[in-house]
Structure 1
């Protein structure tokens, strides 16, 4: 599973690099977790650093409910153009207030929901995406990676979710391709559509797709 998690992070890096290169300067990493500043085993850069390399004047909002993630974010990402806010994605007024408080919502924003929607129930995830659709300006982009159990034995997936809940005290909801695609319903999917993270803007050389439970990914635009 470590390889799958790494590829999820690498796919998000590729997406941010691509979107910043296309001219996007405002980013909101919702549920972004703890920045590592290359202190992780894989020596991967933080997404904010990737965007800054392409757009030095980028504006970056990191939002997470976990106090340790927020503390690390303020320590490692602090600086001009960066805001770090503690907020639960289920509290939509607080999420929208953070977006409006730190970004110019009259202009396009790239919203990153990396490996986080599977911690929300389907109604909670849909409400969040509906709220984003209502608040985002035309030309904004939403990037989603989501755990799926498709292609794996259902009993194994269910057992994995139960074990995760026992270990971490948090419910997790692996979903089907159809369900993950449905979350993008109000947005316009960009090519290549809903794919495994390994398939999104793949580098010239890299590891083969990892079998079993994995992450699916989509990038979609607010028209």
Structure 2
């Protein structure tokens, strides 16, 4: 059984499912527990397109990183990075430029443990175990300061994570506190669930996720656009993931109305 495998971090609560392990399951990963899989099955009942949504969000992450590399960005801060799977940011960026630097951030125990294991021989990538809603804790972490040069542009990645940030945490303030220390030319890649697309399914998902450690808070197109304050939103704007600069060779042209998630990239002027 997976619960008894040697990769399970000591002291982890096996009874309470997490979003990181749910996402791992939807992407076909094996680092999840029975309660995560039970949650995933309820999630799929609520939103039958969930696996495609997860795939599109992962594809958006890849395309946004490659766009930033094209724009000269060689440093990345990936918030809510999740459990390592195929197509991680450092793999994408360092394939394009071996000198690219990546700092991952996640508070989930399995995500942190496996990222540490995966990155142990990579001096240009690391992970900080921290809550992304506390920007100073992330930005002032020794690993962050050692690896990232804040005098040069940084790619800030918030892909499929901000729907776990409630309104009482001041989402706009959180984004601003990450944005402000970064120089002009830095970029923000952002995606999150919305009720604008498939609202009844989104309502069911919200109910399902109330039983996890990571309840969900979908946002409208206008609310997501407002989070890009201080950034120039790049073409094609804030759109369903399937419409954000799709790569036809990877079959990313699915029905945008079933995407479930809005995505966009902005550049700090």
- The match for 2:77 is 28
Alignment match of 1:195 (pick from 236, 239, 251): 239
Deviation at 1:172, TM superposition (A): 0.5
Matched-pair contact (CA < 8 Å) for 1:142–1:220 = yes
Q: How is 1:25-104 mapped onto 2 (pairs within 5 angstroms)?
A: 25-36=74-85, 38=86, 45-78=87-120, 79-98=122-141, 99-104=144-149
Deviation at 1:213, TM superposition (A): 6.0
Give unpaired runs (5+ residues) of structure 2: 1-49
Matched-pair contact (CA < 8 Å) for 1:52–1:58 = yes
Count of aligned residue pairs for this structure pair = 214
Q: Which has the higher contact order (CA 8 A, sep 6+)?
A: 1
- The match for 1:145 is 191
Taking structure 1 as the reference length, what is the TM-score of the superposition?
Answer: 0.89
Distance 1:19 1:185, change over 3 A: same
Alignment match of 2:173 (pick from 127, 144, 147): 127
Give unpaired runs (5+ residues) of structure 1: 39-44
> CA separation in 1, counterparts of 2:140 and 2:192?
25
Matched-pair contact (CA < 8 Å) for 1:148–1:216 = yes
> CA separation in 1, counterparts of 2:118 and 2:179?
30
Deviation at 1:56, TM superposition (A): 0.4
Q: List 4+ stretches of structure 1 deviating above 4 A.
A: none
> CA separation in 1, counterparts of 2:62 and 2:259?
21
Check if 1:178 corresponds to 2:222.
yes
> CA separation in 1, counterparts of 2:246 and 2:66?
13
Taking structure 2 as the reference length, what is the TM-score of the superposition?
Answer: 0.75
Secondary structure of residue in 1 paired with 2:126: strand
Instruction: Compute the RMSD of aligned alpha carbons.
Output: 1.6
Matched-pair contact (CA < 8 Å) for 2:190–2:264 = yes
